[in-house]
Amino acid sequence: MPRMRMNQAISAAIADEMRANPDVIVLGEDVAVAEGPFKTSAGLLEEFGPLRVRDTPISEMGFLGAAVGAAATGLRPVVEIMFVEFLGVALDQLSTEGAKFHYLSGGQVTVPLTVRASVGAGLGFGTQHSQTLESWVVGTPGLKLAVASGPATAYGLMRAAIRDDNPVVVLEPRRLYAQREEVTTGEAGIIALGQARQAASGDDATVVALGSTVGTATEAAADGSWSADVIDLQSLQPWDQDLVYASVARTGRLVTVEENPLSGGWGADVVAAVAADLFGELKAPPLRITAPDVPVPFGKELEERYMPSSAYVGEQITELLDTGRVPPPWWQREENTP
Amino acid sequence: MPRMRMNQAISAAIADEMRANPDVIVLGEDVAVAEGPFKTSAGLLEEFGPLRVRDTPISEMGFLGAAVGAAATGLRPVVEIMFVEFLGVALDQLSTEGAKFHYLSGGQVTVPLTVRASVGAGLGFGTQHSQTLESWVVGTPGLKLAVASGPATAYGLMRAAIRDDNPVVVLEPRRLYAQREEVTTGEAGIIALGQARQAASGDDATVVALGSTVGTATEAAADGSWSADVIDLQSLQPWDQDLVYASVARTGRLVTVEENPLSGGWGADVVAAVAADLFGELKAPPLRITAPDVPVPFGKELEERYMPSSAYVGEQITELLDTGRVPPPWWQREENTP
Amino acid sequence: MNTPLERREALQQDRQVRYERMVEIRALENKVQDLFDEGLVHGTTHLCLGQEAVAVGVAAAARVTDQVTCTYRGHGVALALGLTPVQLLGEILGREAGSIGGIGGSMHLCDPEIGLMPTFAIVGAGIPVAAGAALTAQVRGTDDAAIAVFGDGSTNIGAFHEALNLAAIWKLPVVFVCENNQYGEYSRIDLTTPVEDIACRAESYAIGGTIVDGQDPDAVAEAVSSALDHARSGGGPTLLELKTYRYAGHSRADTAPYRPDGEFESWYEKDPIVNFGRQLLDEGVLGENGIDEVQATVNARIDAAVELVLDSAPTPVDAMFAHVLAP
Amino acid sequence: MNTPLERREALQQDRQVRYERMVEIRALENKVQDLFDEGLVHGTTHLCLGQEAVAVGVAAAARVTDQVTCTYRGHGVALALGLTPVQLLGEILGREAGSIGGIGGSMHLCDPEIGLMPTFAIVGAGIPVAAGAALTAQVRGTDDAAIAVFGDGSTNIGAFHEALNLAAIWKLPVVFVCENNQYGEYSRIDLTTPVEDIACRAESYAIGGTIVDGQDPDAVAEAVSSALDHARSGGGPTLLELKTYRYAGHSRADTAPYRPDGEFESWYEKDPIVNFGRQLLDEGVLGENGIDEVQATVNARIDAAVELVLDSAPTPVDAMFAHVLAP
Ligand SMILES: Cc1ncc(C[n+]2csc(CCOP(=O)(O)OP(=O)(O)O)c2C)c(N)n1
Ligand SMILES: Cc1ncc(C[n+]2csc(CCOP(=O)(O)OP(=O)(O)O)c2C)c(N)n1
Ligand SMILES: [Mg+2]
Ligand SMILES: [Mg+2]
């Protein structure tokens, strides 16, 4: 099992799919010659040539739209949106065109498109380059959405996304690109979309995490005075109700750990579903641990506070278990309100 | 109290603010000479002239961006996005620029911008012109979001939005434009942003509705074998926790009625907050009544089925009260899954 | 009734069929307006009356394996490409017989067999998508091409600019066909667009830009053909501006009160059907009673289609759950 | 230390100050690189080394009441407009002393007093926003104007096209200043842009498009001035293409290995600071030791600013809760 960084795992996943299928192409700003601003397409131009690996002009609407058209006519484009915020200039092509083509062709046209985007805070990129923005994507029937939590899931989800016949968005927490771990490559490493993964086991709570917060939650669970199932959701649309429900049915407590602001965050969907369907099984109120409702601040210390840390996750869960009540978030304790 | 249609109420609200403040201007496609595709700017060009009421080229990114710039330098633009889907070609200016200017100026710049958009199904406009898409807007710190539920709230929210020093999105359920009611105009008719309204009172449940579903929920409550507080949320960001919590604390049951698909819908935020903060007070699981996770279909009968009807709301709530369990949605009963 | 493919082939081979198809488009659009006025059409609809030569010229020039994107004002292009009146009316009236089973309505047609990609209700959106279809041809090394058909008003939106730039730099085999019908919704083009001729915008991308008489199906077919040849031979994209005129209002109930007096009349002198009919008579392609015969054939066809569709099964409710995701 | 307004006025009045400001920009950018290499800068930063004449020329031509939008590569424009080295370094280093209190970082500067609108980290986004600032002037009937400063690569994005079209049709008092520094990130312009001169894109909007020597602050100031005059007198927008060159890589660690051999050297012969300094010496505006003196003054100022900022209070954590919403 090779040990690799997450950006290497992504490059490897794309390369493996490109080897397997000549229809897979790669588009994006500086993905070819420069091998991607985050080196997530290393070696691709060299191996697959300029017909299949292309640097684009700065025009996300244009090249994402072209990718939709290419996908609808037989290719399997992998498009890089360098920072997820740039979807703000291109969302129409993803959500209103690509996601609806299959429906609007009566099933005659498929759009096997993969849209990769880097997300999240922690590297000092500032307010316009540090959000996670799952909410822009999640309420769109016709789209799938997966989020990598490290090299192995990045590899496995990327390959599944490229093989899928639907438009799939894969979000890559930017601050994990340099993280290393052993990665099962090849067919065995592929992770089915819609399937979650149990990252740790325990009895006191079910902690559902996504992307960058999987590590945070796992660390918190390892340190804790309590033990929990930590579930790496991996896919957000669709999400794995079976695994989450089975765990909550056992632990009786649900906690979500989210890097996004509270409002509109993905955890609300999970909490709402569990509260509806497992009402009788809950021993404590569901707890969402999130960032505050503020734009992502610059500054190392501020950014670190903005994102839930493992210590903070640990404290919040401890208090939930101790009191049976949802503890106030750190900013309320410090009397800060956005 | 004049009786007016919702589009007339909107025109009146804008006109009243334009009279009160010469900085208010109106921009959009065919809002001037043609008085708006839905006649929501009737009389404005005539009264306020072409300097302040302007038809734009088809370029939502361009004119929304111009509105952000105008707002940041002292005007109070009211921008029409004809169908909310068109935000897909312009979201950057709303969410990544306008919403963050105040923050990114250290409070030196304000952006008193109002973005109006028509939303929703029911008029046969098809998949790309029938969504509600609150989810594109709601998770953005720095933005406010209000939704009209009829002529009176359209008037009151519009005036509040134009007066607000922040970017405010006001969504207008398209199929209510022709609805009539008496409208309190003038200062007394203004509705503070962030404040909900109790549309009906009762004991068995708290039914939280928004926009087009307010009428649906109120009708269901009037017919029902049960009685409920029906709350017209009016604002979604921020939303009125006080009113909702006070009601749920009394009724012990929460139901949201949403026109959007289940995934990513606004009701999840409300349910998650209530489940966390009023866990002990809930007598039954929270119920979300929504549209299915499918693109909005064309065809009168399909569209009508797509949107929750008052009969359906009535049945679902009845079953919740009878069984103490969340009833399956209609499509599950009919063994349809998207 | 012929299949879409047969209809397309006939049109490509035969100028009389092109004439007939223009007559069919007009008759069908008028029928849609009637059905709308009778309250039988749910929702909205955008007619291409007056623009028939564009549709037919494009379809005559394109190969069946070329891909075409067009807009909500796409009934004409769809029929010209080969979509049958039943497929079209079925869609507009929400029947299973519609080209996508009635789930889409007037703005959403599609038939991959004849190269009709899903049509677009978002202004400008089809332009980059056509570039993408051309990318497929380029990557696969076929000599297929793509065509984007869009309006004059759409040339002010970012997607137009981005698509042309991308296609130019990659020399994609795509032809950008701007139907300049003088209006975007209720606004005359000069109120929103500072240039007289949209073709001049080609210079921003160092590609060819040509003004074409959009009222003449032969001229359209020729211009599109030569742009397609250029594209197929690796020369990259071309922008064609087809000058034409929208006879009806923007959509359904719009009576176009904003039109200056006499404008409609002066364009009607250039009516594509009247003129092309006259030309085919002169050439002897149409016989003495040819015009009336074509009209009668077409009317019968449309009437039969309307009857068939009105009698056919409406789209069932559970169709909304199909094709959300590919398996 | 002078206030931003004083700094701006001095620059507008005095060509020697313009020279000094260019030297300051360069010294400051070099210092930012040093601080970055020392690990003191969190995040990323985009230097405008080589492009100093653009910044200074624009600031010299603009009134203080004109509004300017610029990009993440905006340190130079900000300093030229009057932002102090302390405000800039404070922002980059995340201190309360920063122009927005350190909450934004290198890409997010702002000072309304000198017309510096919040700077943009999204390519193209500032272009329509500048058109909007011009709209305010037009609606209010002042004769202020707006200026958008953006890169060559940004002219391929939709917002550029939409903003120019809108400004043209409304004759907004705005000047579009394209800093053509030959690269967008790691891609040479000819890989992404099919035209040689971006100025030609003005024709798509029937507005003036002019190529300007972006290495000469006088030429820049003159071109911007005359475009501003045109704008103020109701003539509408102008597109200026300022040919210049980015000495550093795109951001932080990029060493620009993709540059062809000799390219940097040939541009360095046109170095704006060297050339303008020489010119001012020739003209006698600078005395014999003027160059060294200016450098010494600037160095001292920057060193003092760095010291002051490094000793100053970091942005407190609770600052993230301020200014999310206006009261
Ligand atoms: C992005 C977007 N903005 C606005 C609209 C509303 N709209 C529909 S058609 C139309 C006019 C388009 O004009 P043109 O491109 O000239 O095409 P035509 O209708 O004349 O064929 C507008 C503004 C839309 N569908 N999409
Ligand atoms: C919409 C968007 N796409 C991509 C980027 C990433 N990006 C940042 S700078 C840059 C290059 C811009 O080139 P140019 O406009 O020439 O400006 P320069 O950096 O040369 O000043 C790119 C692609 C972005 N910030 N925004
Ligand atoms: Mg038109
Ligand atoms: Mg550049």
Phi, psi (deg, nearest 5) at residue D319: -65, -20
Mean pLDDT over A184-196 rounds to: 98
Q: How far apart are CA B298 and CA C319, in angstroms?
A: 10
pLDDT for the residue numbered B300:
93
- Whether residues B143 and B168 share a domain: the answer is yes
Active site annotation includes A102: no
- Whether residues B205 and B182 share a domain: the answer is no
Contacts of C207 in chain D (CB under 8 A): 194
Q: How far apart are CA D126 and CA A128, in angstroms?
A: 13
CB D161 within 8 A of CB D199: no
pLDDT for the residue numbered B224:
76
Whether the pLDDT of residue B281 is over 90: the answer is yes
| CATH number of the domain where residue A134 is located | 3.40.50.970
- Whether residues B39 and B172 share a domain: the answer is yes
Ligand nearest to the CA of C153: 1
Give the number of other CB atoms < 10 A from CB of residue D34: 12
Contacts of D146 in chain B (CB under 8 A): 69
A252/D contact by beta carbon, under 8 A:
no
CB C309 within 8 A of CB C90: yes
CB D61 within 8 A of CB D224: yes
Ligand 1 centroid – CA C222 distance (Å) = 27
Q: What is the mean pLDDT of chain A?
A: 97
Ligand nearest to the CA of C73: 1
Whether the pLDDT of residue B338 is over 80: the answer is no
Distant-in-sequence contacts of B129-132, Cβ < 8 A, 24+ apart: B129/B83, B129/B85, B129/C107, B129/C121, B130/B296, B130/B303, B131/B84, B131/B85, B131/B260, B131/B296, B132/B84, B132/B171, B132/B173, B132/B211, B132/B212, B132/B259, B132/B260
| Beta strand extents in chain A (DSSP E only) | 3-5, 24-28, 53-55, 76-83, 114-119, 144-147, 168-173, 180-182, 197-200, 205-209, 228-232, 235-237, 254-261, 287-291
Atom 5 of ligand 2: nearest residue by CA position? D123
C302/B contact by beta carbon, under 8 A:
no
Whether the pLDDT of residue A320 is over 80: the answer is yes
- Whether residues A248 and A215 share a domain: the answer is yes
Q: With an 8 Å Cβ cutoff, are D106 and A126 in contact?
A: yes
- The domain containing residue A269 runs over which residues? 197-336
C170/A contact by beta carbon, under 8 A:
yes
CB A260 within 8 A of CB A210: no
pLDDT for the residue numbered A337:
80
Min CA distance, B24 vs chain A (Å)? 26
With tokens 């990609």, the residue in question is C117
Contacts of D185 in chain A (CB under 8 A): 29-30, 34, 37
Q: How far apart are CA C185 and CA C190, in angstroms?
A: 13
Q: Which of B30, B38, B58 to mutate to test the pocket of ligand 1 (most atoms within 8 A of CB)?
A: B58
Q: How far apart are CA B269 and CA B289, in angstroms?
A: 14
Mean pLDDT over B258-262 rounds to: 98
D189/A contact by beta carbon, under 8 A:
no
CB A192 within 8 A of CB A215: no
Exposed e or buried b per residue across C296-316, where buried means at least 16 C-beta atoms within 10 angstroms of its C-beta:
eebeebbeebbebbeebebbe
Q: Nearest 5 degrees, angle CA A266-CA A268-CA A270?
A: 80
Q: Give the nearest chain A residue to B96 (CA atoms).
A: A128
Check pocket membership of C151 for ligand 1, CB cut-off 6 A.
yes
Q: Where among B153, B172, B189 does a domain terminate?
A: B189
Out of C165, C192, C193, the one facing D156 most closely (by C-beta) is C165
Higher per-residue pLDDT: B268 or A223: B268
- Whether residues A148 and A284 share a domain: the answer is no
Tell me which residue of A240, A268, A258 sits closest to A306, measured CA to CA: A258
Q: How far apart are CA B106 and CA B101, in angstroms?
A: 8
pLDDT for the residue numbered B337:
80
Ligand nearest to the CA of D51: 2
Q: With an 8 Å Cβ cutoff, are A34 and D106 in contact?
A: no
B140/D contact by beta carbon, under 8 A:
no
- Whether residues B205 and B181 share a domain: the answer is no
In sequence order, the β-bridge partners of residue A256 are A208, A288
In sequence order, the β-bridge partners of residue B289 are B257
Q: What is the pLDDT of residues D213-264, one digit of tens each?
A: 999 999 999 999 999 999 999 999 999 999 999 999 999 879 999 999 999 9
Contacts of A28 in chain C (CB under 8 A): none
The count of CB pairs under 8 A between chains C and D is 60
Q: How far apart are CA C45 and CA B246, in angstroms?
A: 47
Q: Where among B189, B214, B249 does a domain terminate?
A: B189
Q: What is the DSSP string of D71-128?
A: BSS-HHHHHHHT--HHHHHHHHTTBTTSTTTTSS-TT---BGGGTBPPPBSSTTTHHH
Q: How far apart are CA A9 and CA D177, in angstroms?
A: 41
Q: Which of D46, D72, D123 to mutate to test the pocket of ligand 2 (most atoms within 8 A of CB)?
A: D123
- Whether residues B160 and B212 share a domain: the answer is no
Whether the pLDDT of residue D180 is over 70: the answer is yes
Instruction: Give how many domains chain A has, as a whole number.
Output: 2
β-pairing verdict for C146-151 and C174-180: parallel
Q: How far apart are CA D184 and CA D71, in angstroms?
A: 13
Min CA distance, C270 vs chain A (Å)? 35
With tokens 């890089």, the residue in question is A80
Q: How far apart are CA C290 and CA D188, in angstroms?
A: 60
Tell me which residue of D63, D66, D89, D33 sits closest to D251, measured CA to CA: D33
Tell me which residue of D115, D129, D133, D193 sits closest to D160, measured CA to CA: D129
Ligand 3 centroid – CA D166 distance (Å) = 17
Min CA distance, A141 vs chain C (Å)? 7
CA distances from D109 to A285, D11, D92, D101, D119 (A): 43, 20, 9, 10, 6
- Whether residues A203 and A170 share a domain: the answer is no
Residue C180 CA from chain centroid, whole number:
12
C256 burial (CB, 10 Å; 0-12 / 13-18 / 19+) is middle
Closest atom of ligand 1 to C181 CA is 20
Whether the pLDDT of residue C150 is over 80: the answer is yes
Whether the pLDDT of residue A104 is over 90: the answer is yes
Q: What is the pLDDT of residues D52-74, one digit of tens each?
A: 999 999 999 999 999 999 999 99
Residue B73 pLDDT class (50, 70, 90 cuts) = very high
- Whether residues A202 and A324 share a domain: the answer is yes
Spatial neighbors of A53 by CB under 8 A, at least 6 apart, are: A25, A26, A31, A32, A41, A44, A45
Q: With an 8 Å Cβ cutoff, are A288 and B276 in contact?
A: yes
Ligand 3 centroid – CA B113 distance (Å) = 30
Q: Where among B170, B189, B208 does a domain terminate?
A: B189
Phi, psi (deg, nearest 5) at residue C188: -65, 145
Q: Give the nearest chain C residue to D189 (CA atoms).
A: C169
Q: What is the pLDDT of residues B79-116, one digit of tens each?
A: 999 999 999 999 999 999 999 999 999 999 999 999 99
Q: How far apart are CA A328 and CA A325, in angstroms?
A: 9
Q: What is the pTM of this model?
A: 0.98
- CB half-sphere exposure, B33, CA atoms < 13 A: 14
Check pocket membership of A82 for ligand 2, CB cut-off 6 A.
yes
Whether the pLDDT of residue A14 is over 90: the answer is yes
Amino acid in the structure at residue D256: A
A187 burial (CB, 10 Å; 0-12 / 13-18 / 19+) is exposed
- Distance between the two ends of chain C, CA-based, in angstroms? 33
Q: What is the 3-state secondary structure (H, E, C) of chain C?
A: CCCHHHHHHHHHHCHHHHHHHHHHHHHHHHHHHHHHHCCCCCCCCCCCCCCHHHHHHHHHHCCCCCEEECECCCHHHHHHHCCCHHHHHHHHCCECCCCCCCCCCCCCCCEHHHCECCCECCCCCHHHHHHHHHHHHHHHCCCCCEEEEEECHHHHCHHHHHHHHHHHHHCCCEEEEEEECCEECCEEHHHCCCCCCHHHHHHHHCCEEEEEECCCHHHHHHHHHHHHHHHHHHHCCEEEEEECCCCCCCCCCCCCCCCCCCHHHHHHCCCHHHHHHHHHHHHCCCCCCHHHHHHHHHHHHHHHHHHHHHHCCECCHHHHHCCCCCC
Mean pLDDT over B218-243 rounds to: 96
Whether the pLDDT of residue D1 is over 80: the answer is no
Min CA distance, D162 vs chain C (Å)? 6
Residue C1 pLDDT class (50, 70, 90 cuts) = low
Q: How far apart are CA C182 and CA C173, in angstroms?
A: 27
Provide the residue ranges of all domains of chain C, joining segments of one domain with +: 4-246+257-309
In sequence order, the β-bridge partners of residue C184 are C187
Out of C41, C103, C153, the one facing B297 most closely (by C-beta) is C103
Spatial neighbors of A250 by CB under 8 A, at least 6 apart, are: A203, A206, A229
- What is D4-246+257-309's CATH number, 3.40.50.300, 3.20.80.10, 2.60.40.60, 3.40.50.970? 3.40.50.970
CB B52 within 8 A of CB B98: no
Whether the pLDDT of residue D190 is over 80: the answer is yes
Min CA distance, A204 vs chain C (Å)? 37
Tell me which residue of C206, C263, C277 sits closest to C26, measured CA to CA: C277
β-pairing verdict for C187-188 and C183-184: antiparallel
Q: What is the mean pLDDT of chain B?
A: 97
- Whether residues B202 and B151 share a domain: the answer is no
Contacts of B107 in chain D (CB under 8 A): 322-323, 326
Phi, psi (deg, nearest 5) at residue A54: -130, 130
Q: With an 8 Å Cβ cutoff, are C206 and D191 in contact?
A: no
- Whether residues A204 and A155 share a domain: the answer is no
Q: Give the nearest chain A residue to D256 (CA atoms).
A: A34
The count of CB pairs under 8 A between chains A and D is 126
Contacts of A86 in chain D (CB under 8 A): 122
pLDDT for the residue numbered C118:
98
B57/D contact by beta carbon, under 8 A:
yes
Atom 19 of ligand 1: nearest residue by CA position? C184
Mean pLDDT over B265-279 rounds to: 98
Check pocket membership of B85 for ligand 1, CB cut-off 6 A.
no
Q: What is the DSSP string of B233-285?
A: --EEES--HHHHHHHHHHH--EEEEEEEESTT-THHHHHHHHHHHSGGG-SS-
Check pocket membership of D241 for ligand 2, CB cut-off 6 A.
no
List A5, A52, A116, A129, catalytic entry: A129
Q: What is the pLDDT of residues C235-266, one digit of tens each?
A: 999 999 999 999 999 998 799 999 999 999 99
CB B268 within 8 A of CB B324: no
| CATH number of the domain where residue A308 is located | 3.40.50.920
Amino acid in the structure at residue A45: L
Q: Considering chain A, what percentage of its residues have pLDDT values greater than 90?
A: 97
CA-CA-CA-CA torsion for A238, A243, A244, A248, nearest 10 degrees? 160
